Amino acid sequence: MEQLNYRHIALSRAKGSRLQAVVGVVASGDLEVLVERTLPDGECEVDIRTPITGFGDVWRAVVADFVQLRSPGGLKLSVNDGGARPDMVSLRLAQAVRAVAGDRV
Amino acid sequence: MRDTGRRDRDQRLQAGARHAEGKRVHRQNATALLEAVIRPGDRVCLEGDNQKQADLLAVALAAADSATLHDLHLVRSGVVLPEHLDVFEKGIAKRLDYAYSGPQSARIARLLFGGKIELGAVHTYLELFARYYIDLTPQVALIAAVSADRHGNLYTGPNTEDTPAIVEATAFKDGVVIAQVNEIVDTLPRVDIPGDWVHFVVESGKPFYVEPLFTRDPAAITETQILTAMLAIKGIYAPYGVQRLNHGIGFNTAAIELLLPTYGERLGLKGKVASHWALNPHPTLIPAIESGWVRQIHSFGSEVGMDEYIRARSDVYFTGPDGSLRSNRAFCQMAGLYACDMFIGSTLQIDLKGNSSTVTVERVAGFGGAPNMGSDARGRRHPSQPWLQAGKEADPDGPAALRRGRKLVVQIGETFGDQNVPLFVEHLDALNLAEKLHLDLAPVMVYSDDVTHIVTEEGIANLLLCRDADEREQAIRGVAGYTQIGRERDAAMVQRLRERGVIRRPEDLGIDPLDADRRLLAARSIKDLVHWSGGLYAPPSKFRNW
């Protein structure tokens, strides 16, 4: 089990007003994301627990692109990984931002 | 007279006749028949590809005494059953020319490295069939049919597949044809192979084995695969207007089939794309057929459970006077080569030039029909809109009337495959394999100069628009996602390629990755497919969970 933590400056506050949401499932090749609106508007934190070690560079790149693309200001995202591939991680992170905005998941 | 071949065949038939009553051979005598008819060093074609298997004859050959039968040269489409390799371990066979090996790909690699198999070449199907008529003509062919009558006429049924190509090459060049049949009957539903081309018939008493290789369970399709399918439909099918095509096996292409009646319909593409197919009867195409998308389909083989559905859809499929499917792998491969404007399929490894291969160091899988479908037919002379448009993109300044068109050869997949193995690599494992086995050619499935597009969840790379090797490499890196190849991209050059439309991201095509939702699939389970078929599709038990 590896724990990774990334903090970023976000350009703008994540849309919507919901305080928290959960997307995905902890299953093989998938992941669960708990998203909470607990940080100042310009900050974002992604906290990851993964059973697969040695992919820190990939996680760092995925999270950096996510923050740039989705601007998740004010959000803390906690990822419980089941060995998901990067494409699935990107998708679930984006879904989490949409869920906390109150849109359809 | 120069007829030594014919006299040789007569001697073989006489030797075999001791184990037969007329043409009929009891299945307990199958091995004795093979030992009598086949001679050491013979070239033998044992029928079997990625679907149908002459399984009884495979077992009978593997049971032969290697003191009597040895050093055979096996020429065959597929190395699939354990017995196909047992004959090499026992010394019955020595040399192998083939096209496909799925389940035995790991064991075949071990036997190659151990020197038990002398490898001729790994072919594409059509190429191997071609060699049956030039320099790999079999002395003996061991084939499979559904039923025979007492004259030896054969009904090969929906899974006719390779049989006509094998029998023609053998029977008309002094070879001996031995058929296993499920049963011997008085009257055949139709005659697929005339009896005077068939010398011995063995009644097996049970159906020959067929692998349901083309069945993909919609329940296992991921959102990323749906996203790649949306990209392909909107970014390739639509702009080129691809009507005549072949789909490889895989979940990405299954997703495309299931998106046609939903996403494709919404884009207004019905009747404009995906109407004429060289394709096996994929269950995942049922919703598109039922929604009126498909005009006609010619098939390499059948698919387990699809026979009744096909029988009821003769407007779409090629069927015989008895109403059942007539497939033919050689003709369908030819159709895929010359009469289709696009091949789209997945692969295991793509290098920086765009070469792709399904061979890894531990697994020598072969490629079946993909190198044929996935290649530009240099002999093609008839125009079509997608072919002309692709040719123009590759050579915009050439004179139109002298410019070759191009087949669209699309590789589609996720940037990471099973076990997080990257799709994109610096060097293909196929090169390491060629070096270790001292092969003249690395087993490349699709060559870089044939591939025109690569689709991943990150976008589409249009290699037709690349003007030099650097652009090509960066276009590939630019859709390679978070693989090492992808992360080592030249970001500025990738951005320039994107501005030129060489790389197109989902957002460039007006696609939001968050819309890639399983609810877009016209069927989300095997059971949904059964409903779509009006109860005519009968999935094999391993795909049933009800």
ipTM comes to 0.91
Q: Do B513 and A94 touch (CB under 8 A)?
A: yes
Helix (H, G, I), strand (E, B) or coil at B118: strand
Number of helical (H) and strand (E) elements in chain B, helices listed first: 21, 19
The segments of chain A whose pLDDT lies below 50 read 105
Question: Which chain B positions have a beta carbon within 8 Å of A95's beta carbon?
Answer: 514
What is the reported pLDDT for A103? 59
- Over residues B28-71, the pLDDT tens digits come to 999 999 999 999 999 999 999 999 999 999 999 999 999 999 99
Each residue's pLDDT tens digit, B432-456? 999 988 889 999 999 999 999 999 9
Element (H, E) at B16: helix B4-17
pLDDT(B124) > 50: yes
B274, B243 contact by CB (below 8 A): yes
Superfamily of B222-526 according to CATH? Acetyl-CoA hydrolase/transferase C-terminal domain (3.40.1080.20)
CB proximity A105 to B under 8 Å: no
Work out the average pLDDT over B406-418: 95
How far CA B151 is from CA of A14, B26, B276, in Å, comes to 78, 16, 38
Classify each residue of A89-104 as buried b or exposed e, where b means 16 or more C-beta atoms within 10 Å of its C-beta: bbbbbbbbbbbbeeee
Backbone φ, ψ for residue B453 (5° rounding): -140, 145
d(CA B358, CA B99): 12
The residues, any chain, with a CB within 8 Å of residue B151's CB and separated by 6 or more, are: B23, B195, B196
Sorted by sequence, the CB contacts under 8 Å of residue B424 that are 6+ apart come out as B349, B350, B351, B352, B415, B476, B477, B480, B483, B485, B486
CA distances from B422 to B253, B320, B358, B487 (A): 19, 45, 13, 12
How far CA B274 is from CA of B40, B56, B266, B279, in Å, comes to 49, 39, 15, 11
CATH code for B7-203?
Answer: 3.40.1080.10
Question: Among residues of chain B, what percentage have pLDDT more than 90?
Answer: 95
Q: Locate tokens 């063995």: which residue?
A: B202
Q: Is A62 on the interface with B (CB under 8 A)?
A: yes
Pick from B414, B482, B514: which is nearest to A62 by CB?
B482
Q: Locate the DSSP E strands across B216-370.
A: 244-247, 276-278, 296-298, 342-345, 349-350, 356-357
Could you tell me if B288 and B522 are in contact, meaning their C-beta atoms sit under 8 angstroms apart? yes
B247, β-bridge pairs: B344
What is d(CA B159, CA B329) in angstroms, rounded to the nearest whole number? 9
A83 touches B: beta carbon within 8 Å = yes
Q: Which of B481, B487, B514 sits opposite A87 (nearest CB)?
A: B481
Q: Quote the pLDDT of residue A105.
A: 47
Q: Confirm or reject contact between A50 and chain B (CB < 8 A).
A: no
Give the one of A52, A86, A95 whose C-beta lies nearest to B481's C-beta: A86
- Mean pLDDT throughout B454-463? 98
Q: Which pLDDT score is estimated for B545?
A: 80
How far apart CA B254 and CA B341 sit, in angstroms, is: 19
Which residue's structure tokens are 């049919």?
B145
Residues in A touching B479 (Cβ below 8 Å): none
| Nearest-by-CA chain B residue for A30 | B222
Among B416, B487, B513, beta carbon nearest to A91: B513
User: Identity (one letter) of the amino acid at B345?
Assistant: G
**B183 has a pLDDT exceeding 90:** yes
> SS3 of B188, please?
coil
Locate B4 and state its tokens.
Answer: 């030594």
> Is A86 in Cβ contact with B416 (below 8 Å)?
yes
Chain B positions touching chain A (beta carbons under 8 Å): 222-224, 227, 414-416, 420, 457, 481-482, 487, 513-514, 516
**Rounded Cα gap, residues B47 and B162, in angstroms:** 7
- Name the DSSP class of B419: G
Are B178 and B143 in contact by the 8 Å Cβ rule? The answer is yes
Residue with tokens 């003509």: B137
The residues, ordered by sequence, that sit 6+ positions from B187 with a Cβ below 8 Å of its Cβ are B149
Residue A85, chain B, CB below 8 Å: the answer is yes
pLDDT on residue B102: 84
Residue B520: φ, ψ to 5°: -75, -20
Strands B72-78 and B43-46: parallel
Rounded to a whole number of angstroms, the distance from the CA of A24 to the nearest CA of chain B is 12
Out of B222, B482, B514, the one facing A95 most closely (by C-beta) is: B514
Q: Give pLDDT, residue A48.
A: 97
Residue B250 pLDDT exceeds 60: yes
Hey, is the C-beta of A86 within 8 angstroms of any chain B C-beta?
yes
Residues B44/B74, Cβ–Cβ less than 8 Å: yes
Q: Which CATH class is domain A2-101?
A: alpha beta
B487 to chain A: which residues are within 8 Å by CB? Answer: 57-58, 61
> Which one of B414, B513, B516 has the shortest CB-CB distance to A85?
B414
The closest CB to that of B482, out of A61, A94, A98, belongs to A61
Residue A62: list chain B partners with CB under 8 A.
Answer: 482
Q: Give the residue range(s) of CATH 3.40.1080.10 domains in chain B.
A: 7-203
> A89: distance to nearest CA of chain B, Å?
10
**Residues 6 or more apart whose Cβ sits within 8 Å of residue B138:** B43, B44, B45, B75, B132, B166, B169, B170, B175
- Parallel/antiparallel/unpaired status of strands B244-247 and B72-78: unpaired
| Contacts with A98 from chain B: Cβ below 8 Å | 514
Interchain contact, A86 vs B415, CB within 8 Å: yes
Q: What is the rounded distance in angstroms from the CA atom of residue A97 to the CA atom of residue B171?
A: 67
Tokens of B288: 């598109």
The number of helices, as runs of H, and strands, as runs of E, in chain A is: 2, 5
DSSP bridge partners of B456: B459
For A87, the closest of B224, B487, B514 (CB atoms) is B224
Residues of B in contact with A94 (CB under 8 A): 513-514
Least Cα separation, residue B500 to chain A (angstroms):
21
Which residues in chain A have Cβ-Cβ distances shorter than 8 Å to B515?
none
State the Cα–Cα distance between residues B404 and B378, nearest whole angstrom.
9
Displacement of CA B354 from its chain's centroid (Å): 21
Work out whether strand A75-81 and strand A31-37 pair parallel, antiparallel, or are unpaired: antiparallel
d(CA B516, CA B43): 52
Q: How far, in Å, are B139, B149, B306, B336 from residue B277 at the CA level?
A: 35, 34, 17, 8
Give the CA angle between residues B505, B511, B517 to the nearest 5°. Answer: 120
Mutant choice from B482, B484, B507, B511 vs A, greatest count of A C-beta within 10 A:
B482
The two structure tokens encoding residue B30 = 């199958």
Give ranges for CATH 3.40.1080.20 in chain B: 222-526
Residue of B nearest to A58 (CA): B482
The structure tokens listed for B311 are: 């029988």
Q: What is the mean pLDDT of residues B158-174?
A: 98
**Residue B103 scores a pLDDT above 90:** no
Supply the pLDDT for residue B508. Answer: 98
Q: What's the confidence (pLDDT) of residue A63?
A: 97
Percent of chain B with pLDDT over 70: 100
Q: How far, in Å, CA of A96 to CA of A18, rounded?
A: 11
pLDDT of residue B418: 82
Inform me whether the pLDDT recorded for B374 exceeds 60. yes
A34 touches chain B (CB under 8 A): no
Q: Which residues pair with B178 in a beta bridge?
A: B142, B200
In whole angstroms, what is the distance from residue B530 CA to residue B286 CA? 9
When the pLDDT of each residue in chain B is averaged and rounded to a whole number, the result is: 96
Contact B358, B445 (CB under 8 A): yes
Answer whether A76 touches B (CB < 8 Å).
no
Q: Coil, helix or strand for B184?
A: strand
